[in-house]
A and B are shown apart, each in its own frame.
Chain A
Amino acid sequence: MARKLPATDVVIVGLGWTGAILAHELTASGLNVVAIERGPWRDTASDFPPAYAQDELRYHIRHDLFLRPAQVTMTFRNNVSQTALPIRSWGSFMPPNGVGGGGVHWNAETWRFQPSDFQLKTHLTQRYGEKFLPADMTIQDWGVSYDELEPCYDKFEYLCGTSGKAGNLKGQIQAGGNPFEGFRSREYPTPPQKQPYGPTLFAQAATEMGYKPFPQPSGNLSQAYTNPLGVTLGPCTYCGFCEWFGCGNYSKASPQTTILPVLVRRPNFEARTQCEVLKINLDKSGKRATGVTYIDSSGNEWEQPADLVLLCAFQLFNVHLLLLSGIGKPYDPGSGAGVIGRNYSYQVTSSVDAYFDDKIFNPFIASGAIGMCIDEFNGDNFDHGPHGFVGGGYLGAVQTNGRPLQSTRVPKGTPRWGLEWKQAVAKNYLRSYQAVTHGSCYSYRDAYCDLDPTYTDRFGRKLMRITFDFHENELKMSQYITDRLAEVVQKMGPRHFEKKPRAGHYDITVYQTTHTCGGAIMGTDPKSSALNRYLQSWDVPNLFVMGATAFPQNAGYNPTDTVGALAYWGADAIVNQYLKSPGPLVQA
């Protein structure tokens, strides 16, 4: 039996990037905010100091900073004909846990989506015709435009101190930046990071081939930076422990290094950690959220009433909580009706591994977001007409790490163990290089989330079931852009290289990326979206849902910059519209 706590103005579920941004914006407008976080408080010096933050076994192999599947997991199947089985140990993606969320252990690649990504259905239909798209593809427009989001992107990047070089300043193409990006109202807050050998060679090769390489925008900072909140970040030291790891020297943008020091000082803010929200409560009409029920780590249940509920957990858990709370109509792939669980999507990554005799790459001198990239094959930057697929991705030499358990690679045909393996590892560690593609993943009628009929979590709640596989469009895309990448890599002069395009069924056991998307998407029509263009629930207007949950499909870029921009977009709508007149901001 839950004990009832005093009401607050706002309750936030999850204190990661979006929870911290919303809490900051709403406390600034005077509201009382309580953030409830399932995981522990996390702090640089206490949880990942540079004395043991660089522990590959603990953080990468044993998943120390992530949620434990024993707490909650999902079940998975490739298609509706299979029986979904639980993900017993994380593989393909790494659900975050604790204050800071994924912002603690991301690589900090900070990309904007393109203007056309936000009007994807309209744009592709206009250019190629409706018939060009696969029949079961369910891509949609977002209901918000790039121009509307631009100030929000800007705000998030200036919060983070993002290091990069603009390619398009107010419509003027800039040398050295990404000429394909949407306009920026101003230059990046800090200059690009330095580039090691591999990216430098890649950029030379790409330039010779007529491409326009540019430094990847990075949330690992090229220099010390004090953000508009007054919080200071340090310079990245290229230690090579970003993704999977917390940053030990305050140089990676995270809620810890940009917002939390200011947020905790606000007297109208409070965070409760190690408290797991069980459901969002509704009143009798089912049209109004009354707050949340959560359980603390001692097993006590509490009801936290609130006037406004903000779902700010990781994408998968936002969808799970909506399903468990009975908010919105669950999606049915048979009829195509329903919105919760609809348009679950992912990311399509691939690589080209190259082996050299005469070059030393020092792969350990790394940052999660250094690298030189080209964007000629992303989004709709090239004519898809001859190729028979839509979508694309960026290609690049992105030197994220040289950690030996993850990054000792050997040429194809080498045994996986024994003397020959050992000698191949010793020979190739410094002399091999992996270039990557990072591609879009569009949405389909049969890729979705719902509640599993069999498996439950430790509280007896039904697990969420993911039904997902790659489609031919995405596999063709991956093959095409991996071929283009291989051409650049070949020009770098390796003795040998191997193309590794994405192929076959989606495999839940192999790490690809944590860019899961969709499931409660934003849009213009309550029949095909769970949220309106302000991330407000169509069904429960005092509920807003943040994060990649809202992406109708995924673009060929890392999602965090867009997640941050959407958080500011939603916060602005709440402060400047909703508070003045609580109710639906868009009439259905």
Chain B
Amino acid sequence: MVAEEIRLAAKSPSAAGVSRRELLLTTAITLIFSATSAWALDVKGSLPWPPNAGTPPTPVQPGPWVYFTAEEATAIEALVDRLIPPDPQTPGGKDAGCAVFIDRQLAGAYGKAEGLYMRGPFVDGTPQQGDQSPLTPAARYRQGLAALDKYCRATYAGKSFAELADNDKDKLLSGLEKGDVGLEGANARGFFELLLQNTQEGFFADPVYGGNRNMLAWKMIGYPGARYDYRDWVERHNEHYPLPPVSIGGRPDWVRKAG
């Protein structure tokens, strides 16, 4: 019934401006949309804005592993601590929270390959064509860690990766990186690259995601973090920037000192 009214009103010549009929018309359209579509948004008149608008990140909470099993977590902690080892100045990947970061990432949208094109057929191509695996990142970890464990126990007298000496760990990682070591039932190089990428993400990403604890990686390189105003510093050349880093969550100075 609105449809008839709409059709009559719609084709008015509009050069003279908008008639009241057209206002009625747009109201009718809005109704059609609001009745049938939960998400599509019809914007006119003013910029949309609801209170509390936004999608801030949900901070990763400490606590039990969400995706990894206890055994997988032990291996991941050992792996990230060799990819980014501790040194006297800065903790390594494990204490930086890289394993927690990867665990939470795999449990979420990233681990599920949400948003990626996952339709077949899955055919290997040239390196320039990019990864064509049907596996999600979460599945690649499960597969890769199982295969790595099997390899370690077979090669190093029943020991898991975490139980190896640092030298052996590094040798094994180099082998994976170079393609010298193959893993049965997994793409060894692909797994290594994924692990290295995610470990560095955990090290340098905002602490809100579980890694880079206390912004230690940012402090290590002199990056001031989630700051948003350097106007006073653009033309101060060849000087160390003096202010401490800040994360999305804030920094210790936001909390008033006792006393």
Contacts and interface: CB of A to CB of B under 8 A. Distances in A.
A270 B41 CA distance: 10
B126 A69 contact: no
Given A43-B49, A300-B36, A78 B126 contact: yes
Contacts, number: 280
A337 interface: no
A54 B235 CA distance: 22
A495 interface: no
A1 interface: no
B129 A85 contact: yes
B127 to A, nearest CB: 7
Contacts of B22: 32, 267-268
B253 interface: no
A234 to B, nearest CB: 11
B125 interface: yes
Given A57-B209, A271-B43, A300 B37 contact: yes
Interface in A71-113: 73, 76-78, 82-89, 91
B149 interface: no
Contacts of B221: 404, 408, 425-426, 429-430
Interface string B160-202: 0000000000100100010000000000000000001001110
A240 B53 CA distance: 24
B173 to A, nearest CB: 7
Nearest to A33: B14
B11 A7 contact: yes
Q: Say whether chain A's binding surface is mostly helix, strand, loop, or mixed.
A: loop
A68 to B, nearest CB: 4
Interface string A116-138: 00000000000000000000000
B43 A270 contact: yes
B85 A419 contact: yes
A6 B7 contact: yes
Contacts of A402: 223
A249 interface: yes
Interface residues of B, number: 95
B231 A91 contact: no
A41 B48 contact: yes
A419 B121 CA distance: 41
Contacts of B89: 426
B130 A6 contact: no
Q: Say whether chain B's binding surface is mostly helix, strand, loop, or mixed.
A: loop
A56 B26 CA distance: 41
B230 A298 contact: no
Contact of A417 (B42, B119, B173): B173
Interface string B36-62: 111111111111110001111100000
A275 B39 CA distance: 9
A49 interface: yes
B254 interface: no
Interface string A232-254: 00010111110000001100000
B57 A55 contact: yes
A317 interface: no
A85 B45 contact: no
Contacts of A264: 43-47
B230 A404 contact: no
A508 interface: yes
A175 interface: no
Nearest to A421: B84
B56 to A, nearest CB: 5
A82 to B, nearest CB: 7
23 contacts: A5-B29, A29-B15, A30-B15, A30-B16, A52-B57, A56-B204, A197-B238, A264-B45, A267-B44, A268-B14, A270-B26, A272-B40, A272-B41, A297-B38, A362-B230, A364-B223, A416-B196, A417-B84, A423-B87, A426-B220, A426-B221, A454-B121, A505-B126
